């Protein structure tokens, strides 16, 4: 038998025995000052009422703490090969799928997975996790088939996925989805941010614009989108459109999650932005959806990032 399975079996048996002991104790306690069970010790509490101490609590089987710990997926050849070949989906598959990948990373059991690597689908950028390097730029770019003027590009695989998302939304009767703002360079963000700060001051500027090097848009994986049913709307109205509702419900099938949702501002550091879709790839988006997650921070068991660190 796999040593890990053996270990879990012992722990399970131990927990079961402990549970039975606890239930025994409850049952005895509810009997008040009744006679002690055959195996119980009898003690007097300060009020003079006899309390029965459960015997089971002193007879647990020992847990084998020296048992082999869970193996490191990063030590496995398929994971190493997938990491070397560069395909993010292949890496996730080598871990055993999105849920297994997430579980290993969240448990701190995947040292080969760097959540700060901006070239990977699993990168997490927030106010406490700037891009590394700060001036990072993607190496591949693609233009979605449908975009508004000045929208820019996305990383090529994200652009292709957005095309599929838009076509599926249209086919479902919710209207197509166009890119309104994609990749933004570090230099662009410097200009945008400094302009906001100059006009509105530090606090208001921080609320309106991400600091340079802290915007998810710099990864090329973030897409601010609009609904195009007839004419195209703007990003602020997207959440109230049929396409917005469709994307929130079905975006995961194309590798996208809604990154900033209502109720999670203390975790993400951003007010809800139904228009801001983040590409994480289909395997991870599927695990995110199936697990009921609403923030990438919680998905990977990272600290909340309500504010900048400095
Ligand atoms: Zn955005």
Spatial distance between the Cα atoms of 105 and 119, rounded to a whole number of angstroms:
17
Which of 57-71, 74-88, 158-172, 270-284 is the least confident region?
57-71
Per-residue pLDDT at 261 exceeds 70: yes
DSSP state of 269: S
pLDDT band at 208 (very low <50, low <70, confident <90, very high): confident
The residue behind tokens 């994609």 is 182
Spatial distance between the Cα atoms of 296 and 93, rounded to a whole number of angstroms:
19
H/E element, 19: helix 3-30
- Ligand 1 centroid to Cα of residue 286, in Å, is 21
Among residues 187, 216, 249, 273, which one is catalytic? 273
Spatial distance between the Cα atoms of 161 and 184, rounded to a whole number of angstroms:
19
Angle at 114 between CA 257 and CA 79, to 5 degrees: 95
The residue behind tokens 């998905």 is 299
DSSP state of 76: S
Per-residue pLDDT at 48 exceeds 70: no
For the chain, give the percent of residues with pLDDT over 90: 73
pLDDT band at 27 (very low <50, low <70, confident <90, very high): very low
Spatial distance between the Cα atoms of 146 and 228, rounded to a whole number of angstroms:
9
The answer as to CATH 3.30.1380.10 being correct for domain 133-299 is yes
pLDDT in tens, 68-121: 445 789 999 999 999 999 799 999 999 999 999 999 999 999 999 999 999 999
Yes or no: say if 221 and 279 are a contact pair by the CB < 8 Å rule: yes
pLDDT band at 310 (very low <50, low <70, confident <90, very high): confident
- Ligand 1 centroid to Cα of residue 201, in Å, is 21
For 215-222, what is the mean pLDDT?
97
Yes or no: say if 39 and 21 are a contact pair by the CB < 8 Å rule: no
Domain with CATH 3.30.1380.10 in the chain: 133-299
- Ligand 1 centroid to Cα of residue 276, in Å, is 4
Per-residue pLDDT at 214 exceeds 70: yes
- Ligand 1 centroid to Cα of residue 98, in Å, is 24
Do you find a cis peptide bond into 6, omega within 30 degrees of 0? no
For the chain, give the percent of residues with pLDDT over 70: 77
- 50 flagged as catalytic: no
pLDDT at 297: 98
Which of 14-28, 195-209, 247-261 is the least confident region?
14-28
Q: Which residues surround ligand 1, an ion (CB under 5 A)?
A: 224, 276
Per-residue pLDDT at 42 exceeds 70: no
pTM for the full predicted model: 0.77
Spatial distance between the Cα atoms of 226 and 147, rounded to a whole number of angstroms:
9
- Ligand 1 centroid to Cα of residue 245, in Å, is 17
């Amino acid at each position: 038998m796999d040593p890990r399975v053996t270990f879990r079996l012992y722990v399970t048996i131990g927990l079961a025995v402990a549970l039975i002991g606890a239930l025994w104790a409850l049952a005895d306690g509810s009997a008040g000052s009744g006679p002690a069970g055959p195996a119980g010790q009898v003690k007097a509490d300060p009020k003079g009422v006899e309390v029965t101490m459960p015997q089971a609590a002193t007879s647990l089987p020992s847990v084998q703490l020296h048992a082999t710990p869970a193996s490191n997926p990063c030590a496995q050849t398929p994971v190493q090969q997938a990491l070397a070949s560069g395909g993010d989906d292949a890496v996730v598959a080598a871990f055993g799928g999105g849920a297994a990948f997430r579980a290993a990373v969240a448990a701190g059991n995947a040292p080969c997975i760097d959540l700060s690597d901006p070239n990977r689908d699993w990168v997490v950028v927030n106010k406490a996790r700037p891009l590394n390097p700060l001036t990072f730029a993607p190496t591949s770019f693609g233009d979605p088939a449908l975009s508004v003027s000045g929208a820019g590009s996305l990383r090529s695989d994200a652009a292709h996925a957005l095309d599929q998302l838009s076509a599926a939304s249209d086919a479902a009767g919710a209207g197509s989805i166009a890119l309104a703002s994609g990749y933004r360079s570090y230099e662009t963000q410097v200009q945008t941010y400094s302009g906001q700060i100059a006009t509105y001051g530090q606090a208001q500027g921080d609320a309106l614009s991400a600091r340079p090097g802290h915007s998810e848009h710099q990864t090329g994986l973030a897409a601010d989108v609009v609904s195009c049913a007839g004419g195209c709307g703007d990003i602020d109205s997207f959440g109230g459109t049929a396409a917005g509702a469709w994307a929130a419900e079905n975006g995961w099938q194309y590798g996208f999650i809604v990154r900033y949702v209502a109720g999670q501002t203390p975790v993400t550091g951003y007010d809800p932005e139904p228009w801001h879709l983040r590409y994480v790839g289909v395997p991870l988006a599927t695990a995110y959806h199936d697990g009921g997650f609403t923030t990438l921070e919680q998905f990977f068991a990272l600290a909340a990032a309500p504010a900048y660190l400095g």
